[in-house]
Chains A and B, each alone.
Chain A
Amino acid sequence: MVRLSYNYQALRTEHIRLYRENRFVKLERESLRSLPRVETIARKDLGMKDANPQQTIAVFIK
């Protein structure tokens, strides 16, 4: 019983560590998704441009 308790504690500590890491990674993802960064990459690195109105089709699903 005591051994199981110690195992449980070890697993819980690991769980907390992984949970923190996961949260941190999610926040990092949100930072990396920030629109100024995405736009800079799209325009400068990938050479993307705004579409002309004639090039766009608005699709509505009834």
Chain B
Amino acid sequence: MAKTKNKKSASGPGDNFKKRLLLAGGILSLYGITILGKLFYLQILQHDELWSQSEKQYIRKVKTSRERGKILDRNLVDLAANVEVDSVYVNPRSIVDKQKTTRTLSKVLNLSYRSTLKKVSSKKKFVWIKRKCTLRESKQLKQLALPGIGFKTEIQRFYPKRQLAAGTLGFVGMDNQGLSGVEHFHDTLLKGLSSFKSEGKDARGRYFRGPKPDKIQPDRSPDLVLTLDEVIQYYVETQLAKATKKYRAKGGVAIVMAPNTGEILALASLPTYNPNNYSVSDPTSWKNIAISSSFEPGSIFKPIVAAAAIETEVASPEKIFFCENGSYRIGKTEIGEAAEHKYGWLSLTKIIQKSSNIGVIKISEELGPSHYYDYIRKFGFGSKSGIDLPGEASGQLRPLDQWSKLSAASISFGHEIGSTPIQLVSAISAIANGGNLMKPYVAKAVIQDGETVKEFEPQLIRRVISEKTSRQMVEILKTVVKEGTGKKASLPGYETAGKTGTAQKIDPETQSYSNSAYVSSFVGFAPADAPRIAIIVMIDEPARVYWGGEIAAPAFREIARQTLRYLNVPSKEERVVYIKHA
């Protein structure tokens, strides 16, 4: 026992110290292990989650919208571009005096008080008040510095030339989605895409650096270059407006096409609208009637019959036909000539020159319905031309097995068939260019940062007539302008060729041909032997006068005169000088 006691007394205070040391060491070790465990937990197990949380605190993801591509004319003049504007929103919870704020907002932004008050009184944190304000509105509102009012920059489509080429360009919706025209047809190409980019921010939320460079992306979608020429488009719109105003017409269409390629140099239709503010216009004006409305073409369809007859060798330009002295009966229907003309024997050339209805009926009879139908189809009638614009109509052409005894006769002078202006100008281009039906198109190229990334080439649809037939038809159509119904399309210094047309419209009430509503038209090309331009002018329901040769032919002449001068096609009256390039 004493031994044991001695041992106890010998280990005394030192022993306690060791114990305490061990205890402290154990606690510290446990503490260390806990820290290591926590570190392991935070650094290894929770690494990804915590890293993303920290990123959220000092890195801010900013949504950037890739701008919609511009639309340019063939000389790279802006026809549709983008402009940054402010949209106004409110945080209703931050607004104390809601009525005062509403009064100010409705006054500055020209909004109704009631609807604005409803928005301002909302329980949400974010409510749009007005999107895409004018510069004046946003400037005025910013100066007032009202609490709870915020601004967000948005991209607005802007058409700097206003109405110019509105029908072709179309317009976009509030979110810049293409709704009409080229904007709609090439929306996939033009539309802006949204992406996110990272930016660093400090404790106060101020940007200070980008933590890592984002992948560099172009800030705008590709631009689209059109075949349209701003200057020719202007000539066309001016002349079309003059003609419709002079004759108090309901509307009109004019197209200028390059006959050898199918490029559309100008396309105009009236009534029109300003695409910057399309919503205030009558929605009927948004329709591009040059491609989406079909008309009975009247006598401008006669060259198709003549070309088919010459091509199939049924008739030559000199072959004569008896025109029944102005009255021809098919079944129970009696057909006469325009202006009660009475023609006897006429050659095919004279039939076209004088625009004899009975003459073309006789030609179509010799041609036979089957051949006739084939050539109508070959010239592109009854099917879409394939132009790169939305809403194109096919026109109306009944299948051959649905033709009545009168159909071939009616179609030969442009009735009982519906065709769009684009079909007619494409067909006359085929006659002018040696016999090739070209696909009309308005998109010429795609460019990105000034570099051409894609080009749209001319497309041959098919050969319709031979070069020989084409040359013969050109000679026939020249006589229409020189001596026939199209004298007012005659252009000093240039040889022109074409055909007049005056078609009665169907009266929707009586379902028969109207005696007061006409479509007056002229379709032609110049210079006749080496055509640079094919033009169609159609005036819808002119008042007072209605002959195509009186109304549409002068508009054709003025468009052709200005366009040829602009394209540097010298007239015979001009001096031409050749200078050798140094």
Contact = CB atoms under 8 A, between A and B. Distances in A.
A5 B208 contact: yes
Most buried by A among B208, B493, B571, B581: B208
A54 B571 CA distance: 10
Interface string B214-238: 0000000000000000110010001
Interface residues of A, number: 23
B81 A30 contact: yes
Contacts of A27: 78, 81, 83, 158, 160
A54 B573 contact: yes
A41 B78 CA distance: 21
B161 A57 contact: no
B174 interface: no
Contacts of A20: 84
Nearest to A4: B209
Interface string B238-257: 10000000000000000000
Interface in A3-38: 5-6, 8-9, 20, 23-24, 27, 30-31, 34-36
Contact of A24 (B83, B230, B575): B83
B160 A34 contact: yes
Interface in B146-165: 158, 160-162, 164
Nearest to A28: B160
Instruction: Classify chain B: how many residues form its interface, as a range.
Output: 35 or more
A59 B161 CA distance: 30
Given A2-B208, A8-B209, A56 B234 contact: no
A36 to B, nearest CB: 7
Interface string B190-213: 000000000010000011110000
Contacts of A23: 82-84
State the majority secondary structure of interface residues on A. helix
A58 B209 contact: no
A6 B208 CA distance: 5
Contacts of B82: 23
Nearest to B573: A53
Nearest to A13: B207
Contacts of A53: 492-493, 571, 573-574
A56 B161 CA distance: 29
A3 B492 CA distance: 74
B573 A35 contact: no
A8 B208 CA distance: 8
Contacts of A57: 574-577
A58 B576 contact: yes
Nearest to A35: B234
Contacts of A46: none
B581 A62 contact: yes
A27 B156 CA distance: 12
Interface in B519-574: 565, 568, 570-571, 573-574
Interface string B91-118: 0000000000000000000000000000
A59 B579 contact: yes
Contacts of A61: 578-581
Contacts of A30: 77-78, 81, 160-161
A54 to B, nearest CB: 6
Contacts of B234: 35-36
Nearest to B81: A27
B266 to A, nearest CB: 12
Given A30-B78, A53-B574, A57-B574, 4 more contacts: A27-B158, A58-B568, A60-B576, A62-B578
22 contacts: A2-B208, A6-B208, A9-B206, A20-B84, A23-B83, A23-B84, A31-B161, A34-B160, A35-B164, A35-B230, A35-B234, A53-B492, A54-B574, A56-B565, A56-B574, A56-B575, A60-B568, A60-B577, A61-B579, A62-B578, A62-B579, A62-B581
